[in-house]
Amino acid sequence: MQLLDGKFVSEKLKQQIAIEAAEILVKTGRKPHLVAILVGHDGGSETYVASKIKSCEKVGFNSTLYRYESSITEVELLKKIDEINQDPETDGILVQLPLPKHISADKVTEKISPEKDVDGFHPVNLGRMQRNLPSFLPATPYGILLMLQEYGIETSGKHCVVIGRSNIVGSPMSILMARNTNPGNCTVTICHSKTPDIKKFSLDADILIVAIGKKNFVTADMVKDGAIVIDVGMNRETSTETKSGYKLFGDVDFENVAPKASWITPVPGGVGLMTIVGLLKNTLASAKKEIY
């Protein structure tokens, strides 16, 4: 078994991003600028947004964080997004999900200008992605592609099984793995909550991507010998063992699955760190006007 080391790869790619950001600053006199919006006080979201902002600083981007209480109305939030859409000093906008129930994530996603949609969630970017046109790719799937690329993992002709069909990971991931690109060119199966026997499919997977949000969902008996296993799970549990007061668990029973896998991502230290790289690369591409 070999580790797909998100810490190593993300640090390496962030160094390259920092070099490009410095070049942009010399050429244009400005830094790439990401605006993040956080509504409410969800513990996971607080941590992820803080980490995104810190990474911006690290690679020499500007960042702005707008924080709102859960009581903000949908109209107020949409108005703020409109304002940022118009601001020529902003290259990328992200609204951290999930949002409170009274705010429609779909409306918010569609309000963000596709040209600043560095999360790649806008239907215009998703449609362009599906057509293999220049687009911002959703940050987590993008990070996974970068990881596969970095380790030179051949995906063409392989059977890729994606467990989970979320808008953020499972659904775009399945499209990307089936596209005529490298990485890509897989035969793709998507499993979800209504799939009666997930094991039947997962056992045939050469590449198994798990994004279902359930701790230890994938056990060793569900994995083929030599499979490549990508664990997108970010299941937080409170813990007295850590300084932060919580511990992160993946969707894969790492201890028992790892000996069977040819390659596997750890949690933490795997896909989560690559998501941030995907976001930074999109923001850089926006500042360089590479997509639109």
Which residue, 24 or 38, is less far from ligand GUN as judged by CB? 38
Q: Which stretch binds ligand GUN (CB under 6 A): 95-103, 201-209, 235-243, 254-262?
A: 95-103
Handedness of CA 198, 215, 218, 105 (dihedral sign): positive
Measured CA to CA in angstroms, residue 67 lies from 45, 46, 70, 257 at distances of 12, 10, 10, 40
DSSP assigned state of 136: P
Which residue, 162 or 222, is less far from ligand GUN as judged by CB? 162
**Angle at the Cα of 52 from the Cα atoms of 166 and 87, rounded to 5 degrees:** 95
CB of 193 to ligand GUN, least distance (A): 18
When binding is defined by CB under 6 A, the residue of 10, 62, 275, 282 that contacts ligand GUN is 275
235-238/246-249 β-pairing: antiparallel
Q: Is 282 in the site for ligand GUN (CB under 6 A)?
A: no
When binding is defined by CB under 6 A, the residue of 119, 231, 251, 253 that contacts ligand GUN is 119
Q: Is 55 in the site for ligand GUN (CB under 6 A)?
A: no
236 alpha-carbon distance from chain centroid? 17
Q: Which stretch binds ligand GUN (CB under 6 A): 21-29, 93-101, 124-132, 173-181?
A: 93-101
CB of 96 to ligand GUN, least distance (A): 5
Does 12 qualify as catalytic in the annotation?
no
**Angle at the Cα of 137 from the Cα atoms of 202 and 40, rounded to 5 degrees:** 90
The closest of 213, 216, 209 to 191, measured between CA atoms, is 209
Which residue, 9 or 234, is less far from ligand GUN as judged by CB? 234
Handedness of CA 128, 209, 264, 225 (dihedral sign): negative
Q: Is 78 in the site for ligand GUN (CB under 6 A)?
A: no
Q: Is 94 in the site for ligand GUN (CB under 6 A)?
A: yes
CB of 166 to ligand GUN, least distance (A): 9
274 alpha-carbon distance from chain centroid? 7
Q: Is 105 in the site for ligand GUN (CB under 6 A)?
A: no
In terms of Cβ atoms closer than 10 Å to its own Cβ (0-12, 13-18, 19+), residue 250 is buried
Q: Is 155 in the site for ligand GUN (CB under 6 A)?
A: no
Task: Determine the number of helices (DSSP H) and then strands (DSSP E) in the chain.
Answer: 10, 11
Q: Is 168 in the site for ligand GUN (CB under 6 A)?
A: yes
Does 96 qualify as catalytic in the annotation?
yes
CB of 262 to ligand GUN, least distance (A): 27
CA gap 275, 169 in Å, rounded: 10
When binding is defined by CB under 6 A, the residue of 96, 135, 189, 265 that contacts ligand GUN is 96
SS3 state at 20: helix
Q: Which of 5, 91, 117, 119 is catalytic?
A: 119
Query: Torsions phi, psi of 264, nearest 5?
Result: -155, 145
CB of 121 to ligand GUN, least distance (A): 7
Q: Is 34 in the site for ligand GUN (CB under 6 A)?
A: no
The closest of 258, 256, 255 to 230, measured between CA atoms, is 258
Q: Which residue is nearest to ligand GUN (CB)?
A: 97
Please count the residues of this chain forming the interface with ligand GUN, following the rule CB under 6 A: 9
Does 52 qualify as catalytic in the annotation?
yes
Q: Give the CA radius of gyration of the chain.
A: 19
Which positions touch ligand GUN (CB under 6 A)?
A: 94-97, 119, 139-140, 168, 275
Catalytic (active-site) positions: 52, 96, 119
